[in-house]
């Protein structure tokens, strides 16, 4: 396996983004008790761009217990990249460091790599097993333990020796063209992410979250495609799922918001991507700019769209029912600006490669409510990742 410098590429697929590379000062979060140390790290490097990830296992601050399952990754990892380039209108400008050629070469490789061809993945659940677990979840909803939850499973490829992260990323990005696309390349993880969803963005004293709930297929026939889009907008089931998560996000933000500032800026927005239409809402609030990042995380992470309501129960039940350990899937990748603002995605529609284990995995899930049809939920999961794993 070829060695690569630490890399983070954030691609909005509209000609803008960031590319960061090189080893700099870093912070590894290994326990919830160390969250104040993360705040100290961010404060000590204010004035620099900082990139990194949040693992789904960071949910343990909500459940008050260790996340079950084998954890390959730390709870979070952030580093000050010595070289950072900003991309505007497909033009690269150095904004941190001095090695423009390094970033230019990486950017060229990212844009010209051939998409990776992969063999067949193995699911962690058969269709029959999946249907049975959805029935169990609906019984929990029926008795009042849950209102809505996000149930996930995964697909894997074992003993896979990948040459480079660029062809892996190209495979994902060619098929998704998503606004929160990311490549993360570290010693212990290569993440190729085609996410359409933003977790949380801070600009000044404003926070916004943009949860996705509601999916419909794209069609080549324009009339069929328009009908699919309209059906998504008018679906009582999809609107119910979306508004439940919007309410959850409103509640999360209210814990840290200045009084009276939580606002739903857009409800049931329909956005189109290469393979799916999605229902996306936007919730915002104002906050005290001195609030530590750890306090923001404690109020909002994991994101509502990947958990459910009530959040604590959704986490507890899904931890015991899902057939795999979520790592970066359902976590987040993003960056801090020199001014202390930040932007983080939701890691979905992604391939995670663990170089030391030669393991590639792809997680997928959907929202389950009392109205969910198990067979349709299974088909929705296939729709979301079909082009990633086939």
Q: Which residues are catalytic?
A: 197, 213
Q: Is the peptide bond before 80 cis (omega within 30 degrees of 0)?
A: no
CA–CA distance, 368 with 145 (Å, rounded to integer) = 13
Assess contact for 386 and 232: CB atoms under 8 A.
Answer: no
* CB proximity list for 322: less than 8 A, separation 6 or greater: 151, 152, 153
> What is each CA distance from 278 to 108, 282, 374, in whole angstroms?
31, 13, 20
Pairs from 33-36 (Cβ < 8 Å, separation ≥ 24): 35/61, 35/294, 35/297, 35/298, 36/292, 36/294
Query: 343's torsion region: left (phi>0), alpha (psi -120 to 50) or beta?
Result: beta
Transcribe 98-155 into DSSP letters.
Answer: S-HHHHHHHHHHHHHPPPPP----EESS-HHHHHHHHHHHHHHHHTTS-SEEEEEEEE
Sign of CA dihedral 310, 311, 314, 320: negative
CA–CA distance, 377 with 118 (Å, rounded to integer) = 25
Q: Which helix (H) or strand (E) holds 40?
A: helix 35-44
Assess contact for 314 and 241: CB atoms under 8 A.
Answer: no
> What is each CA distance from 166 to 108, 113, 155, 382, 386, in whole angstroms?
10, 6, 21, 25, 20
Nearest Cα neighbor of 240 from 134, 383, 367 is: 367
């Amino acid at each position: 396996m070829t060695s690569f410098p630490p890399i983070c590429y954030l691609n909005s697929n509209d000609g803008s983004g960031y590319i960061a590379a090189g080893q700099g000062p870093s912070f590894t979060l290994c326990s919830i008790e160390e969250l104040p140390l993360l705040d100290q790290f961010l404060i000590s490097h204010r004035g620099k761009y900082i990139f990194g990830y949040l693992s789904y296992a960071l949910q343990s601050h909500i459940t008050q217990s260790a996340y079950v399952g084998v954890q390959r990754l730390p709870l979070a990892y952030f580093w000050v990249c010595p070289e950072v380039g900003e991309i505007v209108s497909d033009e690269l400008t150095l904004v941190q460091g001095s090695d423009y050629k390094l970033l230019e070469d990486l950017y060229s490789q990212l844009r010209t790599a051939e998409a990776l061809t992969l063999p067949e993945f193995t699911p962690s659940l058969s269709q029959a097993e999946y249907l049975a677990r959805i029935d169990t979840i609906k019984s929990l909803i029926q008795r009042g333990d849950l209102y809505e939850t996000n149930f996930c499973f995964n697909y894997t490829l074992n003993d896979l020796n990948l040459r480079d992260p660029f062809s892996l990323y190209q495979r994902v990005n060619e098929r998704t063209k998503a606004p929160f696309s990311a490549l993360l390349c570290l010693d212990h993880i290569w993440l190729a992410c085609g996410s359409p969803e933003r977790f949380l963005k801070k600009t000044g004293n404003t926070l916004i979250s943009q949860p996705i709930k509601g999916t419909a297929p794209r069609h080549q026939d324009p009339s069929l495609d328009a009908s699919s889009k309209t059906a998504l907008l008018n679906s009582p089931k999809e609107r119910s799922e979306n508004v439940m998560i919007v309410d959850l996000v409103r509640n999360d933000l209210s814990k840290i918001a200045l009084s009276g500032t939580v606002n739903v800026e857009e409800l049931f927005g329909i956005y189109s991507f290469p393979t799916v239409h999605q229902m996306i809402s936007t919730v915002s609030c104002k906050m005290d700019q001195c609030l530590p990042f750890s306090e923001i995380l404690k109020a909002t992470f994991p994101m509502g769209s990947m958990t459910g309501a009530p959040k604590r129960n959704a986490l507890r039940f899904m931890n015991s029912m899902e057939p795999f350990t979520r790592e970066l899937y359902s976590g987040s990748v993003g960056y801090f600006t020199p001014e202390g603002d930040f932007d983080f995605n939701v890691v979905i529609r992604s391939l995670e490669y663990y170089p030391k284990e030669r393991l590639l995995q792809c997680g997928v899930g959907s929202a389950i409510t009392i109205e969910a049809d198990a067979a349709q939920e299974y088909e929705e999961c296939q729709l979301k990742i079909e082009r990633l794993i086939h």
